Amino acid sequence: MRVVQAYRFALDLTPVQQRAVLAHAGAARVAHNWALARVKAVMDQRAAERSYGVPDDELTPTVGWTLPALRRAWNASKEGAAPWWRECSKEAFNTGLDALARGLKAWADSRSGKRAGRPVGFPRFKSRRRATPSVRFTTGTIRVEPDRKHVVLPRLGRLKLHESARKLARRLDNGTARIMSATVRRDRTRWHVSFTVEVDRAERTPARPGSTVGVDVGIRHLAVLSSGELVLNPRHLDEAQRRLRILGRRLSRRQGPDRRTGQRPSNRWQHAQARLGRAHARVANLRSDGLHQLTTRMAREHGIIVVEDLHVSGMLRNRRLARRIADAGFAELRRQLAYKTEWNGGRLIVADRWYPSSKTCSRCGTVKTKLALSERTYTCTTCGLSLDRDLNAAYNLAALAATCDTAGSGPVAGRGANHKTPLAGQVAVKRQPGTAPAGQTGTVPSQGGTTQQTLTRASER
Protein backbone atom coordinates (compact mmCIF):
# COMPACT_ATOMS: atom_id res chain seq x y z
CA MET A 1 0.00 0.00 0.00
CA ARG A 2 1.52 3.30 -1.13
CA VAL A 3 0.72 6.33 0.99
CA VAL A 4 2.08 9.84 1.31
CA GLN A 5 3.08 10.72 4.85
CA ALA A 6 5.33 13.21 6.61
CA TYR A 7 8.39 12.74 8.81
CA ARG A 8 9.06 15.76 11.01
CA PHE A 9 12.27 16.40 12.90
CA ALA A 10 13.52 19.27 15.06
CA LEU A 11 16.62 21.11 13.92
CA ASP A 12 19.62 22.51 15.80
CA LEU A 13 20.65 25.41 13.59
CA THR A 14 23.66 27.64 14.06
CA PRO A 15 23.15 31.44 13.96
CA VAL A 16 24.53 31.52 10.41
CA GLN A 17 22.12 28.79 9.30
CA GLN A 18 19.19 30.55 10.96
CA ARG A 19 19.94 33.71 9.01
CA ALA A 20 20.15 31.69 5.80
CA VAL A 21 16.79 30.01 6.42
CA LEU A 22 15.20 33.35 7.33
CA ALA A 23 16.58 34.81 4.09
CA HIS A 24 14.92 32.03 2.08
CA ALA A 25 11.64 32.48 3.97
CA GLY A 26 11.86 36.22 3.30
CA ALA A 27 12.41 35.54 -0.40
CA ALA A 28 9.24 33.44 -0.43
CA ARG A 29 7.35 36.26 1.25
CA VAL A 30 8.67 38.84 -1.25
CA ALA A 31 7.63 36.72 -4.24
CA HIS A 32 4.19 36.14 -2.73
CA ASN A 33 3.58 39.83 -2.04
CA TRP A 34 4.90 40.91 -5.46
CA ALA A 35 2.62 38.51 -7.33
CA LEU A 36 -0.37 39.38 -5.14
CA ALA A 37 0.15 43.11 -5.73
CA ARG A 38 0.28 42.45 -9.47
CA VAL A 39 -2.95 40.45 -9.42
CA LYS A 40 -4.74 43.04 -7.28
CA ALA A 41 -3.60 45.90 -9.50
CA VAL A 42 -5.05 44.24 -12.59
CA MET A 43 -8.31 43.35 -10.81
CA ASP A 44 -8.73 46.90 -9.48
CA GLN A 45 -7.96 48.37 -12.91
CA ARG A 46 -10.55 46.18 -14.61
CA ALA A 47 -13.14 47.07 -11.94
CA ALA A 48 -12.46 50.79 -12.48
CA GLU A 49 -12.75 50.44 -16.24
CA ARG A 50 -16.07 48.64 -15.90
CA SER A 51 -17.36 51.49 -13.73
CA TYR A 52 -16.57 53.88 -16.60
CA GLY A 53 -18.54 51.75 -19.05
CA VAL A 54 -15.58 50.25 -20.93
CA PRO A 55 -16.64 47.17 -22.94
CA ASP A 56 -15.38 43.82 -21.75
CA ASP A 57 -13.31 43.21 -24.86
CA GLU A 58 -11.40 46.47 -24.26
CA LEU A 59 -10.59 45.89 -20.59
CA THR A 60 -7.04 45.45 -19.34
CA PRO A 61 -5.96 41.87 -20.08
CA THR A 62 -6.17 39.52 -17.12
CA VAL A 63 -3.16 37.79 -15.61
CA GLY A 64 -2.85 34.08 -15.00
CA TRP A 65 -3.36 32.75 -11.49
CA THR A 66 -1.79 29.34 -12.00
CA LEU A 67 1.66 28.54 -10.67
CA PRO A 68 3.29 28.33 -14.14
CA ALA A 69 1.84 31.72 -15.10
CA LEU A 70 2.97 33.37 -11.88
CA ARG A 71 6.39 31.81 -12.23
CA ARG A 72 6.82 33.13 -15.79
CA ALA A 73 5.80 36.61 -14.67
CA TRP A 74 8.23 36.49 -11.75
CA ASN A 75 11.15 35.33 -13.87
CA ALA A 76 10.53 38.20 -16.27
CA SER A 77 10.50 40.82 -13.48
CA LYS A 78 12.76 39.44 -10.74
CA GLU A 79 15.76 41.56 -11.75
CA GLY A 80 13.85 44.70 -10.87
CA ALA A 81 11.71 43.30 -8.03
CA ALA A 82 14.53 41.45 -6.25
CA PRO A 83 18.03 42.17 -7.56
CA TRP A 84 19.43 39.87 -4.89
CA TRP A 85 17.51 36.85 -6.19
CA ARG A 86 20.73 34.89 -6.92
CA GLU A 87 21.51 34.69 -3.19
CA CYS A 88 18.56 32.34 -2.54
CA SER A 89 17.40 29.11 -4.07
CA LYS A 90 14.74 29.28 -6.76
CA GLU A 91 12.66 27.01 -4.55
CA ALA A 92 12.25 29.88 -2.08
CA PHE A 93 10.47 32.06 -4.65
CA ASN A 94 8.50 29.06 -5.87
CA THR A 95 7.25 28.55 -2.29
CA GLY A 96 5.63 31.98 -2.16
CA LEU A 97 4.18 31.76 -5.68
CA ASP A 98 2.74 28.32 -5.02
CA ALA A 99 1.07 29.51 -1.81
CA LEU A 100 -0.52 32.41 -3.70
CA ALA A 101 -1.70 30.17 -6.54
CA ARG A 102 -3.38 27.83 -4.07
CA GLY A 103 -5.00 30.73 -2.20
CA LEU A 104 -6.37 32.35 -5.36
CA LYS A 105 -7.77 29.03 -6.59
CA ALA A 106 -9.43 28.36 -3.23
CA TRP A 107 -10.96 31.85 -3.24
CA ALA A 108 -12.24 31.50 -6.81
CA ASP A 109 -13.67 28.02 -6.19
CA SER A 110 -15.35 29.21 -3.00
CA ARG A 111 -17.04 32.09 -4.81
CA SER A 112 -18.21 29.90 -7.69
CA GLY A 113 -19.52 27.15 -5.40
CA LYS A 114 -16.98 24.51 -6.45
CA ARG A 115 -15.43 24.47 -2.98
CA ALA A 116 -17.56 23.28 -0.07
CA GLY A 117 -17.32 24.55 3.47
CA ARG A 118 -16.87 28.00 4.89
CA PRO A 119 -16.22 30.90 2.48
CA VAL A 120 -12.56 31.48 1.68
CA GLY A 121 -11.33 35.07 1.70
CA PHE A 122 -9.06 36.75 -0.78
CA PRO A 123 -5.33 36.21 -0.09
CA ARG A 124 -3.61 38.83 2.04
CA PHE A 125 -0.13 40.26 2.01
CA LYS A 126 2.33 38.48 4.30
CA SER A 127 3.89 40.52 7.07
CA ARG A 128 7.52 40.16 8.00
CA ARG A 129 6.74 40.00 11.71
CA ARG A 130 3.45 38.09 11.76
CA ALA A 131 4.00 35.50 9.01
CA THR A 132 5.43 32.11 9.95
CA PRO A 133 8.85 31.65 8.29
CA SER A 134 8.68 28.67 5.95
CA VAL A 135 10.37 27.47 2.77
CA ARG A 136 9.73 24.32 0.75
CA PHE A 137 12.20 22.42 -1.45
CA THR A 138 10.98 20.08 -4.19
CA THR A 139 14.10 19.77 -6.38
CA GLY A 140 17.82 19.59 -5.82
CA THR A 141 19.82 17.64 -3.27
CA ILE A 142 17.52 16.44 -0.49
CA ARG A 143 18.89 13.56 1.54
CA VAL A 144 19.53 12.15 5.01
CA GLU A 145 23.19 11.71 5.89
CA PRO A 146 24.50 8.21 6.78
CA ASP A 147 24.97 9.25 10.43
CA ARG A 148 21.18 9.92 10.54
CA LYS A 149 21.81 13.09 12.52
CA HIS A 150 22.14 15.49 9.60
CA VAL A 151 20.15 16.36 6.49
CA VAL A 152 21.25 18.11 3.31
CA LEU A 153 19.03 20.69 1.59
CA PRO A 154 19.65 22.86 -1.49
CA ARG A 155 21.63 26.05 -0.80
CA LEU A 156 21.26 25.54 2.96
CA GLY A 157 23.75 22.69 3.05
CA ARG A 158 24.20 20.28 5.93
CA LEU A 159 21.82 20.86 8.85
CA LYS A 160 22.02 19.10 12.20
CA LEU A 161 18.98 17.29 13.55
CA HIS A 162 17.99 17.44 17.21
CA GLU A 163 16.95 13.78 17.05
CA SER A 164 17.85 10.74 15.00
CA ALA A 165 16.18 10.24 11.63
CA ARG A 166 16.60 6.46 11.77
CA LYS A 167 12.94 5.71 11.02
CA LEU A 168 13.08 7.56 7.73
CA ALA A 169 16.64 6.43 6.94
CA ARG A 170 15.71 2.76 7.29
CA ARG A 171 12.93 3.10 4.75
CA LEU A 172 15.17 5.02 2.37
CA ASP A 173 17.89 2.39 2.66
CA ASN A 174 15.41 -0.43 2.05
CA GLY A 175 13.94 1.31 -0.98
CA THR A 176 10.42 1.52 0.49
CA ALA A 177 10.31 5.33 0.65
CA ARG A 178 10.97 8.25 -1.69
CA ILE A 179 11.37 11.86 -0.54
CA MET A 180 9.10 14.16 -2.53
CA SER A 181 9.75 17.48 -0.78
CA ALA A 182 11.23 19.02 2.36
CA THR A 183 9.83 22.01 4.26
CA VAL A 184 11.79 24.02 6.81
CA ARG A 185 9.50 25.91 9.14
CA ARG A 186 9.71 27.68 12.48
CA ASP A 187 6.98 26.27 14.72
CA ARG A 188 6.56 27.17 18.38
CA THR A 189 9.94 28.85 18.80
CA ARG A 190 11.82 25.94 17.17
CA TRP A 191 12.90 25.11 13.65
CA HIS A 192 11.65 21.87 12.13
CA VAL A 193 12.17 20.09 8.84
CA SER A 194 9.27 18.05 7.47
CA PHE A 195 9.80 15.50 4.70
CA THR A 196 6.86 14.60 2.48
CA VAL A 197 7.56 10.96 1.67
CA GLU A 198 5.89 8.40 -0.55
CA VAL A 199 6.01 5.22 1.52
CA ASP A 200 5.28 1.65 0.56
CA ARG A 201 3.62 0.41 3.76
CA ALA A 202 3.11 -3.27 4.46
CA GLU A 203 -0.46 -4.54 4.68
CA ARG A 204 -1.55 -4.82 8.30
CA THR A 205 -4.43 -6.39 10.14
CA PRO A 206 -5.81 -5.17 13.49
CA ALA A 207 -5.24 -7.36 16.52
CA ARG A 208 -9.01 -7.92 16.71
CA PRO A 209 -10.32 -7.71 13.13
CA GLY A 210 -13.89 -8.54 14.13
CA SER A 211 -14.05 -6.03 16.96
CA THR A 212 -16.33 -3.01 16.66
CA VAL A 213 -15.95 -0.12 19.07
CA GLY A 214 -17.95 3.07 19.39
CA VAL A 215 -16.10 6.17 20.56
CA ASP A 216 -17.94 9.03 22.25
CA VAL A 217 -15.68 12.02 22.91
CA GLY A 218 -16.21 14.50 25.69
CA ILE A 219 -14.57 16.92 28.10
CA ARG A 220 -14.43 15.13 31.42
CA HIS A 221 -13.40 11.94 29.65
CA LEU A 222 -11.61 12.44 26.37
CA ALA A 223 -13.10 9.23 24.96
CA VAL A 224 -15.67 6.74 26.24
CA LEU A 225 -15.44 3.42 24.41
CA SER A 226 -18.25 0.93 24.04
CA SER A 227 -15.89 -1.69 25.49
CA GLY A 228 -16.30 0.10 28.83
CA GLU A 229 -12.94 1.88 28.79
CA LEU A 230 -12.91 5.47 30.00
CA VAL A 231 -10.03 7.59 28.75
CA LEU A 232 -9.51 10.53 31.06
CA ASN A 233 -8.95 13.98 29.60
CA PRO A 234 -5.47 15.12 30.74
CA ARG A 235 -6.42 18.83 30.39
CA HIS A 236 -2.92 20.01 29.64
CA LEU A 237 -3.99 23.62 29.16
CA ASP A 238 -5.67 23.78 32.57
CA GLU A 239 -2.57 22.33 34.21
CA ALA A 240 -0.42 25.02 32.60
CA GLN A 241 -2.75 27.97 33.23
CA ARG A 242 -0.92 29.21 36.32
CA ARG A 243 2.44 29.36 34.58
CA LEU A 244 0.90 30.90 31.45
CA ARG A 245 -0.67 33.67 33.52
CA ILE A 246 2.63 34.43 35.23
CA LEU A 247 4.49 34.58 31.93
CA GLY A 248 1.74 36.65 30.32
CA ARG A 249 1.82 39.23 33.09
CA ARG A 250 5.60 39.36 32.91
CA LEU A 251 5.35 39.99 29.16
CA SER A 252 2.83 42.80 29.65
CA ARG A 253 5.29 44.64 31.90
CA ARG A 254 7.94 44.74 29.19
CA GLN A 255 8.24 47.36 26.46
CA GLY A 256 6.63 45.76 23.43
CA PRO A 257 6.27 46.89 19.82
CA ASP A 258 3.95 49.73 18.81
CA ARG A 259 2.92 49.80 15.16
CA ARG A 260 1.47 53.30 15.40
CA THR A 261 4.72 54.93 16.50
CA GLY A 262 7.11 52.39 14.99
CA GLN A 263 8.54 51.48 18.38
CA ARG A 264 10.67 48.34 18.35
CA PRO A 265 10.30 45.75 21.14
CA SER A 266 12.94 45.59 23.82
CA ASN A 267 15.21 42.59 24.28
CA ARG A 268 13.52 41.79 27.60
CA TRP A 269 10.14 41.75 25.86
CA GLN A 270 11.45 39.38 23.18
CA HIS A 271 12.90 37.04 25.81
CA ALA A 272 9.63 37.05 27.76
CA GLN A 273 7.68 36.37 24.59
CA ALA A 274 9.95 33.44 23.76
CA ARG A 275 9.39 31.94 27.22
CA LEU A 276 5.62 32.28 26.84
CA GLY A 277 5.81 30.67 23.41
CA ARG A 278 7.76 27.72 24.78
CA ALA A 279 5.15 27.22 27.50
CA HIS A 280 2.36 27.14 24.92
CA ALA A 281 4.43 24.82 22.73
CA ARG A 282 4.80 22.37 25.61
CA VAL A 283 1.02 22.24 26.05
CA ALA A 284 0.51 21.62 22.34
CA ASN A 285 3.16 18.90 22.25
CA LEU A 286 1.68 17.09 25.24
CA ARG A 287 -1.78 17.21 23.69
CA SER A 288 -0.51 15.92 20.35
CA ASP A 289 1.43 13.09 21.97
CA GLY A 290 -1.58 11.94 23.99
CA LEU A 291 -3.87 11.93 20.96
CA HIS A 292 -1.35 10.00 18.88
CA GLN A 293 -0.95 7.33 21.54
CA LEU A 294 -4.72 6.92 21.92
CA THR A 295 -5.56 6.80 18.21
CA THR A 296 -2.66 4.47 17.39
CA ARG A 297 -3.74 2.01 20.07
CA MET A 298 -7.35 1.98 18.91
CA ALA A 299 -6.47 1.65 15.22
CA ARG A 300 -4.13 -1.27 15.86
CA GLU A 301 -6.57 -3.14 18.08
CA HIS A 302 -10.08 -2.76 16.59
CA GLY A 303 -11.27 -3.61 13.10
CA ILE A 304 -14.14 -1.10 12.99
CA ILE A 305 -14.23 2.23 14.82
CA VAL A 306 -17.36 4.39 14.88
CA VAL A 307 -17.16 8.09 15.77
CA GLU A 308 -19.48 11.07 15.54
CA ASP A 309 -19.35 13.89 13.00
CA LEU A 310 -19.14 16.71 15.53
CA HIS A 311 -19.65 20.36 14.59
CA VAL A 312 -16.57 21.48 16.51
CA SER A 313 -16.58 25.06 15.22
CA GLY A 314 -20.16 25.43 16.42
CA MET A 315 -19.33 23.90 19.79
CA LEU A 316 -16.56 26.45 20.25
CA ARG A 317 -19.17 29.22 20.27
CA ASN A 318 -20.18 28.11 23.75
CA ARG A 319 -18.13 30.54 25.81
CA ARG A 320 -18.37 28.36 28.91
CA LEU A 321 -16.88 25.26 27.28
CA ALA A 322 -14.88 26.67 24.35
CA ARG A 323 -11.48 26.50 26.06
CA ARG A 324 -11.98 22.94 27.29
CA ILE A 325 -13.31 21.77 23.91
CA ALA A 326 -10.32 23.29 22.15
CA ASP A 327 -7.96 21.71 24.67
CA ALA A 328 -9.45 18.25 24.09
CA GLY A 329 -8.77 18.25 20.32
CA PHE A 330 -11.91 16.50 19.02
CA ALA A 331 -11.22 17.28 15.36
CA GLU A 332 -7.60 16.11 15.60
CA LEU A 333 -8.68 12.81 17.15
CA ARG A 334 -11.00 12.07 14.25
CA ARG A 335 -8.41 13.20 11.67
CA GLN A 336 -5.82 10.82 13.07
CA LEU A 337 -8.26 7.93 13.21
CA ALA A 338 -9.15 8.48 9.54
CA TYR A 339 -5.71 7.66 8.19
CA LYS A 340 -4.51 5.31 10.94
CA THR A 341 -7.42 2.92 10.44
CA GLU A 342 -6.56 2.79 6.75
CA TRP A 343 -2.89 2.13 7.49
CA ASN A 344 -3.73 -0.70 9.89
CA GLY A 345 -6.34 -2.40 7.73
CA GLY A 346 -9.33 -1.21 9.73
CA ARG A 347 -12.39 0.82 8.88
CA LEU A 348 -13.68 4.13 10.21
CA ILE A 349 -17.41 4.87 10.24
CA VAL A 350 -18.51 8.46 10.85
CA ALA A 351 -22.04 8.75 12.19
CA ASP A 352 -24.23 11.49 10.80
CA ARG A 353 -24.06 14.79 12.67
CA TRP A 354 -27.76 14.56 13.54
CA TYR A 355 -27.70 10.96 14.70
CA PRO A 356 -29.20 10.99 18.27
CA SER A 357 -26.61 8.75 19.91
CA SER A 358 -27.07 10.28 23.37
CA LYS A 359 -30.88 10.36 23.25
CA THR A 360 -31.35 6.77 22.05
CA CYS A 361 -31.71 3.88 24.46
CA SER A 362 -29.03 1.31 23.70
CA ARG A 363 -31.31 -1.54 24.84
CA CYS A 364 -34.75 -0.95 23.30
CA GLY A 365 -34.00 1.86 20.81
CA THR A 366 -36.43 4.40 22.28
CA VAL A 367 -35.44 7.98 21.46
CA LYS A 368 -36.00 10.78 23.94
CA THR A 369 -37.32 14.06 22.64
CA LYS A 370 -35.08 16.11 24.93
CA LEU A 371 -32.02 15.34 26.99
CA ALA A 372 -30.51 18.18 28.99
CA LEU A 373 -26.76 18.57 29.11
CA SER A 374 -26.87 18.39 32.91
CA GLU A 375 -28.38 14.87 32.82
CA ARG A 376 -25.23 12.75 33.04
CA THR A 377 -27.14 9.50 33.60
CA TYR A 378 -29.41 8.18 30.86
CA THR A 379 -32.65 6.67 32.17
CA CYS A 380 -35.03 5.02 29.73
CA THR A 381 -38.70 5.44 30.60
CA THR A 382 -39.65 2.44 28.44
CA CYS A 383 -37.35 -0.39 29.56
CA GLY A 384 -35.89 1.16 32.72
CA LEU A 385 -32.25 1.13 31.55
CA SER A 386 -30.05 3.43 33.65
CA LEU A 387 -26.40 4.04 32.82
CA ASP A 388 -23.94 6.78 32.03
CA ARG A 389 -25.10 8.86 29.05
CA ASP A 390 -21.74 8.81 27.27
CA LEU A 391 -21.38 5.06 27.57
CA ASN A 392 -24.93 4.73 26.26
CA ALA A 393 -23.93 6.88 23.27
CA ALA A 394 -20.85 4.71 22.70
CA TYR A 395 -23.05 1.59 22.63
CA ASN A 396 -25.33 3.21 20.04
CA LEU A 397 -22.38 4.20 17.89
CA ALA A 398 -21.05 0.64 17.96
CA ALA A 399 -24.50 -0.68 16.97
CA LEU A 400 -24.57 1.74 14.05
CA ALA A 401 -21.83 -0.27 12.33
CA ALA A 402 -24.31 -3.08 11.65
CA THR A 403 -26.55 -0.73 9.63
CA CYS A 404 -23.74 0.51 7.33
CA ASP A 405 -23.33 -1.84 4.38
CA THR A 406 -20.50 0.12 2.73
CA ALA A 407 -17.38 -2.02 2.65
CA GLY A 408 -13.78 -0.89 2.76
CA SER A 409 -11.94 1.64 4.83
CA GLY A 410 -12.40 5.35 5.20
CA PRO A 411 -15.14 7.58 6.61
CA VAL A 412 -18.70 6.43 5.95
CA ALA A 413 -21.73 8.55 6.80
CA GLY A 414 -24.05 6.81 9.22
CA ARG A 415 -27.59 6.50 7.90
CA GLY A 416 -30.95 6.77 9.51
CA ALA A 417 -30.46 10.28 10.92
CA ASN A 418 -32.16 13.53 10.07
CA HIS A 419 -32.26 17.08 11.34
CA LYS A 420 -35.23 16.38 13.60
CA THR A 421 -35.14 14.25 16.73
CA PRO A 422 -37.78 11.47 16.60
CA LEU A 423 -40.63 11.66 19.08
CA ALA A 424 -40.55 9.63 22.26
CA GLY A 425 -41.40 6.01 21.61
CA GLN A 426 -39.95 5.89 18.10
CA VAL A 427 -37.15 3.39 17.55
CA ALA A 428 -33.93 4.55 15.88
CA VAL A 429 -31.48 1.65 16.15
CA LYS A 430 -31.93 -1.68 17.91
CA ARG A 431 -28.97 -3.57 19.28
CA GLN A 432 -28.46 -7.15 18.34
CA PRO A 433 -29.46 -9.72 20.93
CA GLY A 434 -26.79 -10.40 23.50
CA THR A 435 -24.95 -7.10 23.07
CA ALA A 436 -27.16 -4.79 25.10
CA PRO A 437 -25.80 -3.72 28.46
CA ALA A 438 -27.45 -4.89 31.62
CA GLY A 439 -29.88 -2.47 33.21
CA GLN A 440 -27.81 -1.71 36.26
CA THR A 441 -27.23 1.62 37.95
CA GLY A 442 -23.62 2.55 38.54
CA THR A 443 -22.08 -0.54 36.90
CA VAL A 444 -22.31 -2.06 33.44
CA PRO A 445 -20.75 -5.22 31.99
CA SER A 446 -17.89 -4.75 29.56
CA GLN A 447 -18.99 -5.44 25.99
CA GLY A 448 -18.13 -8.97 25.00
CA GLY A 449 -17.30 -10.06 28.57
CA THR A 450 -18.59 -10.38 32.11
CA THR A 451 -16.21 -8.07 33.97
CA GLN A 452 -17.73 -5.18 35.84
CA GLN A 453 -16.40 -1.64 35.74
CA THR A 454 -17.60 1.11 38.01
CA LEU A 455 -18.76 4.14 36.16
CA THR A 456 -17.98 7.69 37.10
CA ARG A 457 -19.66 10.75 35.73
CA ALA A 458 -18.60 10.96 32.12
CA SER A 459 -17.55 13.95 30.08
CA GLU A 460 -19.69 16.99 29.51
CA ARG A 461 -20.51 17.42 25.86
Question: Residue 444: its pLDDT value, please?
Answer: 35
Catalytic member of 216, 327, 342, 388: 216
Neighbours of 294 (CB within 10 A): 17
Question: Residue 401: its pLDDT value, please?
Answer: 86
Higher pLDDT, 370 or 415: 370
Please tell me the distance from the alpha carbon of residue 405 to that of residue 135, in angstroms, as a whole number. 45
Question: 162-221 pLDDT, tens per residue?
Answer: 999 999 999 999 999 999 999 999 987 899 999 999 999 998 999 999 999 999 999 889
Indicate the burial class of 434 (C-beta count within 10 angstroms; 0-12, 13-18, 19 or more).
exposed
308 in catalytic set = yes
Question: 11-49 pLDDT, tens per residue?
Answer: 999 999 999 999 999 999 999 999 999 999 999 999 999
Question: Residue 413: its pLDDT value, please?
Answer: 46
Q: What is the CA radius of gyration of the chain?
A: 27
The full DSSP string for 411-437 is --BPPS--SSPPPTT-B---PPTT-SP
Question: Residue 248: its pLDDT value, please?
Answer: 96
Please tell me the distance from the alpha carbon of residue 265 to that of residue 254, in angstroms, as a whole number. 8
Please tell me the distance from the alpha carbon of residue 133 to that of residue 28, in angstroms, as a whole number. 9
Higher pLDDT, 404 or 194: 194
Question: 323-348 pLDDT, tens per residue?
Answer: 999 999 999 999 999 999 999 999 99
φ, ψ of residue 451 to 5 degrees: the values are -70, 150
Q: Are 109 and 115 contacting, i.e. CB atoms less than 8 angstroms apart?
A: yes
For residues 112-129, average pLDDT = 92
Question: Residue 56: its pLDDT value, please?
Answer: 85
- Let me know the angle formed at the C-alpha of 214 by 208 and 219, rounded to the nearest 5 degrees: 125
Q: Are 437 and 451 contacting, i.e. CB atoms less than 8 angstroms apart?
A: no
352 in catalytic set = no
- Mean pLDDT score of the chain, rounded to an integer? 86
> In the chain, what percentage of residues exceed pLDDT 70?
88
The model's confidence at residue 421, banded by pLDDT at 50, 70 and 90, is very low
For residues 399-412, average pLDDT = 61
Q: Are 33 and 231 contacting, i.e. CB atoms less than 8 angstroms apart?
A: no
Q: Looking at residue 190, what DSSP letter applies?
A: E
What residues pair up with 413 in beta bridges, in sequence order?
Answer: 350
The model's confidence at residue 454, banded by pLDDT at 50, 70 and 90, is very low
Question: 254-270 pLDDT, tens per residue?
Answer: 999 988 898 999 999 99
Candidate from 143-157, 173-187, 305-319 with smallest mean pLDDT: 305-319
The full DSSP string for 120-168 is PPPP-PPPTTTSPPEEEE-SS--EE-TTSSEEEETTTEEEEESS--HHH
Question: Residue 432: its pLDDT value, please?
Answer: 41
Catalytic member of 91, 327, 388, 390: 390
Pairing of strands 208-217, 302-308: parallel
Catalytic member of 91, 308, 327, 388: 308
The model's confidence at residue 117, banded by pLDDT at 50, 70 and 90, is confident
- Let me know the angle formed at the C-alpha of 150 by 149 and 152, rounded to the nearest 5 degrees: 160
Q: Using alpha carbons, select from 426, 427, 429, 456 the residue that is nearest to residue 442.
A: 456
Question: Residue 18: its pLDDT value, please?
Answer: 95
